[in-house]
Amino acid sequence: MTKTIGKRMGFAVLHIEKGTAGKAGGLGSHIDRTKKVLNADPKLSEKNLFYHLGENGKVYVYDNFKNRRSLQERINRRIQEGYKGKTAIRKDAVTHLNVVLTGSHEEMTAIGENPERLTQWMNENYRFVSERFGGRNVVDFTLHMDERTPHIHCVVVPLTVDGRLSAKEVMGDRRKLSELQDCYGKVMQNKFGLQRGIKGSTATHDSVREYYGRIEERLIYPSNSMELNYETRAPQIGTPPLIGREKWAEKQNKAIYEDFTQMREHYKHEAEKQSQKVLKYFQNSKLQAEEKADRLRKENAQLRGVIEEQHKKLHPEKYIRHNKGYSL
């Protein structure tokens, strides 16, 4: 078992969120970085990796996300291949689970800085989810190294052994989820010295989910042209003390909520400023277009006058007849 000498043991984190039919686009964009992610460093995105289970049963590791099928396509394809149900899938059915795998910031940073250790951590996580959910049901397994704390997004299609789509059976109730986290904690503790998180404590966890969820859902999402001088960052969650963990969790929860509220108000203010700039730009553009059109009309009238004068000089007889009632 790996131990960290002179330091408190960090925590292992396994968090699951449900996703319904046809709504994996936002999650897929976040995972594959096809859209700007506010709390990610683009300079570090080249370190992101994903695992792919080939048709031959071998697992391949890639760092090029460009030619990858979209997450929604991968989910749909797995359902088409594995669904054996006799009824049509409901529109509000849970078609995928987003399993986030990570740990305490200090410990995960240390793992991320050691390539061999990082590979071991990824392999153990992949083995764990493949055994629990079925390798073919894991349609995405991506490591993000460009955010504050290294973490894995594992997207699972909740197909049962007999081919039914049932998140309730695969994910289970709170007791089954707690047992899953117990098993994960044991693996991470034995291999990497990361112990299971606090049982029954969801306050901090739910706030972290809300923090990231609101960013990813783009409730207040600036365009690429905006220049925002606000530092976006992941919640600063350190290693909890051995005594007084509940109070520590409440304090962390409050700090994260205040941080998010401050960021939300900032973006709201910036969005309003940008809206006014855009409106003013279009108003000015309209005014400039009208002025240009008026100027062109005047120039056109002047040119017609010049052309007519030249025409009179070249063909005076036509204008004499015209004045007598003849048409040109």
Domain coordinates in residue numbering, the chain: 1-197, 275-317
Q: What is the pLDDT of residues 10-41, one digit of tens each?
A: 889 898 999 988 788 889 999 999 988 888 89
pLDDT in tens, 168-189: 899 888 888 889 999 999 999 9
pLDDT of residue 202: 46
Answer whether residue 284 shows pLDDT above 90.
Answer: no
pLDDT at site 154: 96
Q: How many residues does the chain have?
A: 328
Q: For residues 271-294, give the mean pLDDT.
A: 78
**321, two tokens:** 């007849």
Locate 7 and state its tokens.
């330091």
Q: How much is the mean pLDDT over the chain?
A: 79
Summarised one tens digit per residue, pLDDT across range 221-233 is 333 333 334 444 4
Report in angstroms the alpha-carbon separations of 148 from 60, 159, 277, 294. Answer: 26, 33, 33, 56
Burial class, 3, CB count within 10 angstroms (exposed 0-12 / middle 13-18 / buried 19+): exposed
Tokens of 34: 């096809």
Q: What is the distance between the alpha carbons of residues 20 and 202, in angstroms, rounded to a whole number?
A: 23
In terms of average pLDDT, the best of 239-243, 264-268, 299-303 is 299-303
- What pLDDT score does 6 carry? 43
**What pLDDT sits at residue 248?**
73
- Say whether 308 sits in a helix, a strand or coil: helix
Global pTM?
Answer: 0.60
Q: How far apart are CA 17 and CA 98, in angstroms?
A: 5
Instruction: Identify the residue with better confidence: 241 or 78.
Output: 78
Indicate the helix (H) or strand (E) that contains 298: helix 245-314
The span from the CA of 115 to the CA of 259, in Å, is 32
Cα(107)–Cα(102) distance, integer angstroms: 10
pLDDT digit string (tens) for 252-262?
777 776 766 77
For residue 8, count other CB atoms closer than 10 A to its CB: 15
**Residue with the larger pLDDT of the pair 227 and 50:** 50
Helix ranges (DSSP H) in 63-217: 71-82, 105-112, 115-133, 167-171, 174-192, 203-216
Q: Side chain identity at 242, as an amino acid letter?
A: L
Domain spanning 1-197, CATH class: alpha beta
Q: Give the model's pLDDT for residue 239.
A: 64
What distance in Å separates the CA atoms of residue 94 and residue 84, rounded to the nearest whole number? 16
